[in-house]
Structure 1
Amino acid sequence: MTDTASAIITLLNQQQQHLDELLLLLRQELAALSARDIATLEQLTHAKADTLNQLQQTDRRLAAAPELEQHKQQDWFKEKVAALDVLLDECKRQNDINQQTLEQSQLTLARFKTELLSSRGKAGLTYTSKGKPAVENKGKGIKA
């Protein structure tokens, strides 16, 4: 193999490492979402951003690699890219699962808030201009 092919293989391996790390972070994020661990979620968000930046930088270096077009026709290159595509699809699937989990948590909290507000008194329960429930509290003893 030539030096160019070796450099491209190194970059592809770095891409795989970044995608493996991203997948691990996404799985940890799901656990943190389930546990409602805000501090861990913040740390994971920063780590995911860093990993995505590294992935993007490696992608740029790969795109700028000399003789890339020539190597794209090689079987080893196609196999490696196919493996990376599978890993990327897994990351996207895990991210979709995390998004659905977060949306369900938000819906649950909204329902809980509505129940709490309605338990404070049906007379004061109104809705905002955006359709969100709110309790109107005018205070005691208002007299005209």
Structure 2
Amino acid sequence: MAALNDLLEFQVKNTRELLDVLQLEQHAITARHSAEIESIAQKKSQLVTQIQSTDQRIAAHPDLEQLSQSDAFDTQVTTVRNIMQECQVLNQLNGEALQRANISYTKLNNLLQQSHGKIGMTYNSGGLTHTSSTLGTKVKA
């Protein structure tokens, strides 16, 4: 089994990388780069899985009880917890921004559909609605 100190260093590295990815996600959301947001979400998911896996390995480590008494161990654990807390706050902010963007998109889409429907909706011979933007433009009077 890997040394506990190595696992903790790996965990610190992964949590810092997750924080960086969340900051990239925030910039992508504000710039409305949907393709970038999608690739960032995949990277974020991979990192979260890796962090969970490492956390389980740390919890199952046979030297955990002995090393939990050391100051260096406590410092690393505190660092990981602080970074993860920052990640949670930033992730929540990003989620709220995405929800607002989605609501804005939905409202815009509804407005476009409503305005399109008012322009030239008629009925065809089968009784079905038909939209024509040339309604009334071919009248010669």
TM-score, normalization by structure 1:
0.75
Secondary structure of 2:62's match? coil
> Are 1:19 and 2:3 an aligned pair?
no
* Correspondence for 2:70: 74
Q: Within 1, Cα distance between the matches of 2:95 and 2:89? A: 10
* Correspondence for 1:56: 52
* Correspondence for 1:43: 39
* Correspondence for 1:93: 89
For residue 8 of structure 1, the aligned residue among 4, 8, 13 is 4
* Correspondence for 2:124: 140
Q: Within 2, Cα distance between the matches of 1:138 and 1:24? A: 54
State the AA in 2 paired with 1:139.
Answer: Y
* Correspondence for 1:134: none
Q: Within 1, Cα distance between the matches of 2:84 and 2:94? A: 15
User: After the TM superposition, which of the residue ranges 79-88 and 42-51 deviates more from structure 2?
Assistant: 42-51
Q: Percent identity?
A: 32
* Correspondence for 1:32: 28
* Correspondence for 1:102: 98
| Superposed displacement of residue 39, structure 1 | 1.9
Query: Is contact 2:12–2:76 with CA below 8 Å preserved after alignment?
Result: no
Q: Within 1, Cα distance between the matches of 2:84 and 2:49? A: 15
TM-score, normalization by structure 2:
0.77
**What 5-or-longer segments of structure 1 have no aligned partner?**
125-136
Greater Rg over alpha carbons, structure: 2
Q: Within 2, Cα distance between the matches of 1:71 and 1:50? A: 28
Secondary structure of 1:73's match? coil
| Superposed displacement of residue 141, structure 1 | 5.0
| Superposed displacement of residue 70, structure 1 | 2.1
State the AA in 2 paired with 1:91.
Answer: C
Secondary structure of 2:13's match? helix
**What 5-or-longer segments of structure 2 have no aligned partner?**
128-141
